[in-house]
């Protein structure tokens, strides 16, 4: 029997039209229930992430469950303030009027998640949509099947059953869902599928957020503290075995810096995993055979200076560093999305900027330098979703910063108050009454027109 998506959206819209999601009380009740869901089921989440990605307990807690708990707590704490209409400044013509910006929920929202951080990439936008007063249809990634099934089981146990619904499924189900009319679509995943989502949204002029991917470059020069810089870069690459949308994708540096980078990297990888990464409980596995084979084919033996070991029986790929990589090599054609780090040599930072600017705008840019002029030139001359100086990934965990892409790496932003804003239409409201003085001031707009009124 095929599922009736039209009916699903119709019923969810009916629930939205009752108005119940619009009150502060209802939103708070649902957000508190979502927080309880995370608190009661932390262990089940850790177990599901272990099965899907071999994620360690620490990465599951700090990179998924705690991100969600903190996000919901922030929304609960600030919701009343976020919902309060803004009162922008008034000019003389509106002195007697009310001038407001009302944060209005869009209606029925579709949230589509990706598999690499299957909990937080789904839960964070869902919380933002609930906080903003929407009904939500939630589509977890079928690729992280255990986590998706857990979401499907738990959401109805905690959240209002009429307003929040989970659809479990893959391409076929998402394709059917996308034929329906939504009031907002929030998609996380590849740029290629992002285009499909955008095209589907276009049919109904549905606004979208697209959280996409791409190749996030690292520039590093010889002014840095190598022990710290290399540790931060390798951590960003090794977390989730490189399956992170903002993982450092490739390095641009001079050959001198490359030598220092490699000798430091050898030492740090040993420290990270006690010299036995294959048996370390701290290192993830590749999500499935298809991605494993894609990645294994990118490791060219003659370029490998660190790592290179693979084991298909448990989807293990060792952190691998490649040198003498050229811009037209296969590894430079698409986002790597795995623990392989190619180094490309440039002469100076201007070369690095030219290299990056010849390509699609990255989701993240990482600049490792202690030279202010170099840093400022990157900040001014390179467009990217986000930029971090002397670290990797940490902007994602900084709640006061909006997270999102630009150009091919996406559109829109979320996290913290930006999640609330994303799912709210900012409705302009001009509120007039019948004040006689205000009316006499405004009377110049009525015919009969005259030169005097034109210049008033």
Residue in 15, 53, 67, 121 binding ligand NAD, rule: CB under 6 A: 121
* Residue 337 in contact with ligand NAD, rule: CB under 6 A: yes
* Residue 123 in contact with ligand NAD, rule: CB under 6 A: no
| CA distances, 57 to each of 38, 64, 101, 319 (Å) | 15, 10, 43, 20
Sequence-separated (6 or more) residues with CB below 8 Å from residue 185: 109, 110, 112, 178, 197, 200, 201, 206, 207, 208, 209
CA distance 400 to 415: 8
* Residue 114 in contact with ligand NAD, rule: CB under 6 A: yes
Identity of the residue, 79 or 208, whose beta carbon is nearer to ligand NAD in the bound complex:
208
Secondary structure class of 226 (helix, strand, coil):
helix
Q: Decide if 284 is catalytic.
A: no
Identity of the residue, 221 or 335, whose beta carbon is nearer to ligand NAD in the bound complex:
335
In the set 163, 245, 253, 284, the catalytic residue is 245
Q: Decide if 245 is catalytic.
A: yes
Identity of the residue, 188 or 206, whose beta carbon is nearer to ligand NAD in the bound complex:
188
Residues 213-272 that bind ligand NAD (CB under 6 A): 213, 245
Residue 114 CB, shortest distance to ligand NAD, in Å, is 4
Q: Which of 304, 328, 308 is nearest to 318 (CA)?
A: 308
Q: Could you tell me if 320 and 343 are in contact, meaning their C-beta atoms sit under 8 angstroms apart?
A: no
Residue 216 CB, shortest distance to ligand NAD, in Å, is 9
* Residue 143 in contact with ligand NAD, rule: CB under 6 A: yes
Radius of gyration of the chain, Cα coordinates, nearest whole angstrom: 25
Residue 362 CB, shortest distance to ligand NAD, in Å, is 10
Identity of the residue, 262 or 401, whose beta carbon is nearer to ligand NAD in the bound complex:
401
Residue 178 CB, shortest distance to ligand NAD, in Å, is 6
* Residue 193 in contact with ligand NAD, rule: CB under 6 A: yes
| The pair of three-digit structure tokens given for residue 96, joined into one six-digit string | 């007697």
* Residue 170 in contact with ligand NAD, rule: CB under 6 A: yes
- Alpha-carbon dihedral of residues 105, 106, 110, 114, nearest 10 degrees? -70
CB atoms within 10 A of CB 80: 11
Residues 265-304 that bind ligand NAD (CB under 6 A): none
CB atoms within 10 A of CB 81: 9
CA distance 330 to 428: 50
* Residue 150 in contact with ligand NAD, rule: CB under 6 A: no
The number of residues making up the chain comes to: 456
CA distance 20 to 27: 9
Q: What does the binding site for ligand NAD look like in residue numbers (CB under 6 A)?
A: 112-116, 121, 139, 141-143, 170-171, 174-175, 188-190, 193, 196, 211-213, 245, 335, 337, 363, 405, 410
Residues marked active site are found at 211, 245
């Amino acid at each position: 029997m095929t599922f009736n998506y039209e009916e699903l959206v119709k019923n969810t819209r009916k629930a939205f039209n009752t108005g119940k999601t619009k009150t502060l009380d209802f939103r708070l009740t649902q957000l508190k229930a979502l927080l309880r869901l995370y608190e009661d089921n932390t262990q089940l989440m850790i177990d599901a992430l272990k099965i899907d990605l071999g994620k360690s307990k620490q990465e599951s807690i700090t990179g998924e469950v705690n991100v969600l708990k903190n996000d919901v707590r922030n929304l609960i704490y600030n919701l009343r303030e976020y919902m309060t209409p803004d009162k922008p400044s008034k000019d003389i013509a509106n002195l007697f009027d009310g001038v407001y910006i009302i944060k209005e929920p869009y209606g029925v929202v579709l949230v589509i998640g990706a598999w690499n951080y299957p909990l937080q990439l789904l839960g964070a936008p869902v919380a933002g949509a609930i906080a903003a007063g929407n009904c939500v249809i939630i589509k977890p990634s079928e690729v992280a099947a255990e986590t998706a099934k857990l979401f499907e089981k738990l959401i109805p146990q905690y959240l209002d059953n009429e307003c929040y619904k989970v659809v479990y499924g893959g391409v076929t189900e998402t394709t059917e869902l996308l034929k329906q009319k939504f009031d907002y679509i929030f998609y996380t995943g590849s740029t290629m599928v992002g285009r499909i989502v955008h095209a589907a949204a276009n049919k109904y002029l549905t606004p979208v957020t697209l959280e996409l991917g791409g190749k996030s470059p690292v520039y590093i020069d010889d002014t840095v503290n190598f022990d710290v810089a290399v540790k931060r870069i390798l951590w960003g690459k090794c977390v989730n075995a490189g399956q992170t949308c903002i993982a450092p994708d490739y390095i641009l540096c001079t050959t001198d810096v490359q030598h220092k980078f490699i000798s430091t990297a050898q030492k740090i990888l040993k420290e990270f995993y006690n010299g036995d990464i294959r048996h370390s409980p701290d290192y993830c596995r590749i999500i499935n055979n298809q991605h494993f084979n894609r990645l294994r084919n990118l490791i060219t033996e003659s370029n490998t200076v660190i790592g290179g070991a693979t084991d298909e029986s448990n989807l293990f790929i060792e952190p691998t560093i490649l040198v003498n990589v050229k811009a037209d090599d296969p590894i430079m054609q698409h986002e790597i999305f795995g623990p392989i780090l190619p180094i490309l040599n440039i002469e100076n930072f201007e070369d690095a900027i030219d290299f990056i600017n010849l390509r699609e705008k990255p989701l993240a840019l990482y600049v490792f330098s202690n030279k202010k002029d170099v840093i400022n030139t990157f900040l001014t001359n390179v467009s990217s979703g986000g930029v971090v100086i002397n670290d990797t990934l940490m902007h994602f965990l900084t709640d006061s910063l909006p997270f999102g892409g630009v150009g091919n790496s996406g559109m829109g932003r979320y996290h913290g108050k930006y999640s609330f804003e994303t799912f709210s239409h900012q409705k302009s409201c001009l509120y007039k009454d019948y004040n006689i003085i205000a009316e006499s001031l405004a009377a110049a707009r009525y015919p009969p027109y005259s030169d005097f009124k034109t210049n008033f």
